[in-house]
Chains A and B, each alone.
Chain A
């Protein structure tokens, strides 16, 4: 009985930790699309591509992290793959003194692009702007499993006049972690 109690207690704590960690990420949207491969395709697995997007907004701030991975065949029939990761932050405000600090991150699987990660030094900004970073690359499709690209963005902002503070945080989900998952049929 004690073991069962301990098990459920630990499980509960893990659930709470996960909830606390993800409660403030992708508050607006978190979705993935999987496209089923066509009848003539012969890709690893049963899907031709995967697209994942997480978005979050608060006050004048908006963040999104997205990623995409797809298989295709080149002119010679060789299996190829492509992936991209994308992080985006925007601040849309009439207040020229609005202060934002933010971070951006984009990654594709190692070997698809060099460097395969970008995390530009992003320092404080005043006023309206958008900033984005991306990674994109292609490679031998036989060497890569679907997924592995990441897009991430977060921002905190403050109106110095009113003291109002805002924050956003977004990260590309996976089909497993996305709140909404849709499987699309091949439509060639």
Chain B
């Protein structure tokens, strides 16, 4: 029976194919990991230890990332006022960015505006955003940084990165990204949360965005769970209009 099976060409072919697929995948996996280890000393990987605190549902829920989560006691007071729920306008957010500008940075902005190659089609945005700004030489930007943007969102984001770098304010922010409320630039020391109102009428956090060095990973459900030295913000509060910030017309 087994001999008959193994002598079938289809089975033999299938086995060979299977071995090739498995072997190829393992080889690729080995190659990727070797490349990664060479490029990066290792991510700041957190470990989940669900053995601990499984039934402690008060505030921090059962996921424990194997490291201390400082300042999560219930008596911590968040640095957020009740009016945080009120969404601010994009103008407010833009003013926040503008208020950080210095005279030096304003001079730099002027150099962003239009390059000398403005009439060269290869120096024009493929997505109708006009001439590319100059790529700074000191910001680890590749020469074709803007030309290789895959879509308009990426080009806007890359232009914002360039402008913030030129203004000298990029280092204030851990991450800069796109959210439903526009562009967000999350300052170090801030935590962006999204929340809902639960059946008791209280704010219940369901999403947390922060810099990995500012806040330990974990499940934060109440504002009081967030360490008090961190500022709590929402996408509505810090979102700003990328076109307005870049001085582009929509």
Contact = CB atoms under 8 A, between A and B. Distances in A.
Interface of A: 1, 4-5, 8-9, 12-13, 15-16, 19-20, 23, 27-28, 33, 35, 49, 51-53, 55, 57-62, 64, 66, 68, 70, 72, 82, 84, 86, 88, 90-93, 95-97, 99, 104, 106, 118, 120-121, 123-136, 138, 160-162, 164, 166, 184
B127 interface: no
Contacts of B29: 23, 27
A55 B48 contact: yes
Contacts of A59: 36, 39-40, 43
B85 interface: no
Interface in B212-235: 212-213, 215, 217, 219, 221
B62 A68 contact: yes
A136 B57 contact: yes
B178 interface: yes
B118 interface: no
Interface stretch (B15-23, B71-79, B105-113): B15-23
Given A57-B45, A84-B62, A126-B157, A161 B176 contact: no
B175 A136 contact: no
Contact of B141 (A19, A132, A133, A160): A160
A90 B170 CA distance: 19
B20 to A, nearest CB: 10
B180 interface: yes
B54 A16 contact: no
Given A99-B154, A124-B177, A132-B209, 8 more contacts: A13-B14, A23-B25, A55-B48, A70-B55, A118-B206, A125-B178, A126-B157, A133-B207
Residue picked from B21, B54, B171, B208, most chain A C-beta under 10 Å: B54
